[in-house]
Chains A and B, each alone.
Chain A
């Protein structure tokens, strides 16, 4: 309990105070006691959260078959100390994705899942890593016997899967391709000093282990028993009678192993504080005394910043004094009148109190105070940076025939996270698709060829799937404001809007998923030129499940290009009918159409700052790789160096809608500014329609043409006829 005074005094003289000191012989003795007492039936698993000092990690690596960790940082430290990952179990209620990824990649032997979310996440990670992972379910029992200092059962708590829901978790794991359920784990209460309560608790564990192993129909490889073995922190407490615990528990373990289902099962005893807690002392010096209104106060150089638990702040409701011993400064000794002192630390806060009314018969500056049960939950559980005092020193003691050896220990307890930096970056939410939205004739086909050449992206030729979804959702409002459409109709039939959209999405995305799978690509992209006429409904269907690439092009090029297209088709496309009706001059109709579509695209990109990229066609042809890299980074993808070349060489995967790009094997800037071929007068007319939007997109405005007189118009007509004559003469 208390390390011998001469050793303490020796360290204090040599190195100063405050410090922690660990009696490694006592730790060895405890391991021996457990191994012999339980006849090897329990494999000891050290919960490193208790004291993660490298000295323990390294010693236990040779002495113990298992190590329990509770964070990615503990995993890093355990591996750094040389632990074999296969011997590590990973518990904890809030495991983050990067921690699980690191655990899976490192080959951690047992991951203890504590929630349905963790099961799904882990299966997902193992699918990516193409690994099979052994897991245990942490069960949170409904029942805990009386006598435990800390209770983690029955009531609502964050630990593990509640007993009532374990069967559902087993079903979930059985349906998870990459997970193998190999056992169960229970740690339901802790700090228990009553052997009968510990044994009663184990009986309950065994009942649950039997019940769930039978339900899961497994012969478990591992069952982990949270020990709950307590230590006598406070005045008046007695050390746990370990022999009584062993006497009560051993027959239960033998009974369990006698069952054929459990004959090969590894039974693990998970514990921390009972192994190292009592073996450690925290030693501080009295640096000042004060008689204050009838009370003797000793101010010490150590305190709460090293030992939060001793100050009553580590889960205690009422501060009870730790067992402590005064090693008097023999030079001077001052008696304490009523035999009670308050011991405080040197932090400027009244909560830095190591003991209230501690029974010391004297107190002087220079006295050493040794606090027992300080081997676990000491420095690493305390606010060591508070008020910038030095970290505590640490020492180990080991004895042999020659006497005691004192070894200074060095460990800053930090984990080196540099190797997991990439895993820890916030993950972009996975989105399955990429939707290209662009004005027709804006180079979306070029973009399609580029995307389709990407090793992870499959982008078929125009499928019209999303515009078809939009047309499916088309609704009209009739008199009295009644909406007529599929959503209104199905709403009356009891279908929620979200369900309609979900079904529609599944239908459309399903084709793309299948297509991408057939191409051996991870993601799909959709490009249909006329999708841009249905931006709002496409956004409703696709929502946050895709990334968007919005493509714009100079209005004059659009106008010329549309005219070419309509000439070629010998008809106006359905989508432009409204505009042709309103604006009988086709070029002006196309100009108005361009303004409407471009404004929508600009607004869309502004609404989606994180999941949509705005691409100007002119920029793409000027610097294809840079522009594409930027756009792909919004889609959480990178741009391979040879993507542009690969894309242009691939002539096999051209699809419908690609008539312009057939035969092109280079990106030509020559198809930019084709609108310059329009007459100044025409351009002037279009300028008034398009200039505000052009400027918003960052294009130079078109010069306005001066107004023409009627005489000019007549002369133009006349010249036109003359020129026609001239042409015919050729």
Chain B
């Protein structure tokens, strides 16, 4: 399963109950309290399973995860590595 903007948006809508109007690709997910930490666990599980990667503890920071665009660039970088 490829991880792209559409897939992420769909996941956030269907499973996290996030309003699509709040889902700009640059919208802050975590720091804005749109998602709580329980949801973040589910989000990371989804990223790992969809992109077939595993996040290191040092990867788990807002710079990599706080918006759809940040997640996508982080995943691209991680796959290239």
Contact = CB atoms under 8 A, between A and B. Distances in A.
Interface of A: 673, 676-677, 679-681, 703, 712, 715-716, 719-720, 722-724, 726-727, 730
Nearest to A705: B15
B17 A673 contact: yes
A715 B48 contact: yes
Nearest to A718: B57
Interface in B33-52: 36-42, 44-45, 48
Contact of A681 (B37, B40, B42, B57): B42
8 contacts: A673-B17, A676-B17, A679-B39, A680-B16, A681-B42, A716-B45, A722-B60, A726-B62
Contact of A677 (B17, B37, B62): B17
Contacts of B42: 679-681
Contacts of A676: 17
A677 B14 CA distance: 11
B17 A723 contact: no
Contacts, number: 41
Give the residue among A680, A703, A712, A727 with the most B Cβ atoms within 10 A: A680
A727 B45 contact: no
Given A677-B17, A680-B15, A715-B45, A720 B39 contact: no
Interface in B17-43: 17, 31, 36-42
The 4 closest A-B pairs by CB, nearest first: A676-B17, A680-B15, A723-B37, A722-B60
Nearest to A677: B17
Interface of B: 14-17, 31, 36-42, 44-45, 48, 55, 57, 60-62
Contact of A719 (B16, B44, B62): B44
Contacts of A730: 31
A217 to B, nearest CB: 79
B40 A723 contact: yes
Report whether over half of chain A's contact residues are helix, strand or loop; otherwise say mixed. Answer: helix
Nearest to B59: A722
A676 B37 CA distance: 15
Nearest to B38: A679
A715 B61 CA distance: 17
A643 B79 CA distance: 62
Nearest to B65: A726
Contacts of B36: 677
Contacts of B41: 679, 716, 719-720, 723
Contacts of A726: 60-62
A687 to B, nearest CB: 13
Nearest to B54: A715
A681 B16 CA distance: 11
Given A679-B39, A679-B42, A680-B15, 12 more contacts: A676-B17, A677-B36, A679-B15, A680-B42, A681-B42, A703-B14, A715-B48, A719-B41, A719-B55, A723-B37, A723-B40, A726-B61
Given A724-B37, A727-B37, A719 B17 contact: no
Nearest to B48: A715
Nearest to B58: A722
A715 B56 CA distance: 12
Contacts of A723: 37, 40-41, 60
B44 to A, nearest CB: 5
Contacts of A727: 37
B22 to A, nearest CB: 13
A391 B57 CA distance: 103
Nearest to A682: B38
Contacts of B14: 680, 703
Contacts of A679: 15, 38-39, 41-42
Contacts of A715: 45, 48
Nearest to B40: A723
Contacts of B37: 720, 723-724, 727
Nearest to A683: B15
Contacts of A681: 42
Nearest to B41: A719
